[in-house]
Amino acid sequence: MKEKVVIGMSGGVDSSVAAIKLIKEGYEVIGLFMRNWDSFANGEYSDAPVGENGICPQEEDYNDAKAVCDKLNIPLHRKDFVKEYYDYVFKYFLDELEKGRTPNPDIMCNKYIKFDMFAKEAEKLGADYIATGHYARIKDGKLLRAVDENKDQTYFLSQVTKEQLKNVLFPIGDMLKSEVRKIAEEYDLITADKKDSTGICFIGERNLTKFLKNYLPNKPGNIVNIDTKEIVGKHIGLMYYTIGQRRGLDIGGKEDRMFVVGKDLEQNILYICIGEDNDYLISDSCIIEDVNYLSDEKINKCTAKFRYRQKDVEVELEYLDNNEILVKYPQGEKRVTPGQACVLYNGKECLGGGIIKEVRKNNTKVWYL
Q: Are residues 76 and 165 in the same domain?
A: yes
Choose, from 69, 201, 273, 302, the residue flagged as catalytic: 201
User: Looking only at Cα atoms, what is the longest distance across the chain?
Assistant: 73
In a domain, 203, yes or no: no
Q: Are residues 114 and 150 in the same domain?
A: yes
Choose, from 56, 69, 109, 342, the residue flagged as catalytic: 109
| Total domains present in the chain | 3
Residue 201 known to be catalytic: yes
Q: Are residues 261 and 284 in the same domain?
A: no
Question: Which CATH number do you get for residue 141?
Answer: 3.40.50.620
Q: Are residues 154 and 120 in the same domain?
A: yes
Q: Are residues 270 and 358 in the same domain?
A: no
Tens of pLDDT along the chain (369 residues) come to: 889 999 999 999 999 999 999 999 999 999 999 998 876 555 444 455 445 554 566 788 999 999 999 999 999 999 999 999 999 999 999 999 999 999 999 999 999 999 999 999 999 999 999 999 999 999 999 999 999 999 999 999 999 999 999 999 999 999 999 999 999 999 999 999 988 876 555 555 556 777 788 888 889 999 999 999 999 999 999 999 999 998 888 876 665 689 999 999 999 999 999 998 999 999 999 999 999 999 988 999 999 999 998 999 999 999 999 999 999 999 999 999 999 999 999 999 999 999 999 999 999 999 888
Q: Are residues 234 and 303 in the same domain?
A: no
Question: Which CATH number do you get for residue 300?
Answer: 2.40.30.10
Q: Are residues 90 and 46 in the same domain?
A: yes
Q: Are residues 39 and 72 in the same domain?
A: yes
**Structural domain range at position 104:** 4-186
Q: Are residues 163 and 16 in the same domain?
A: yes
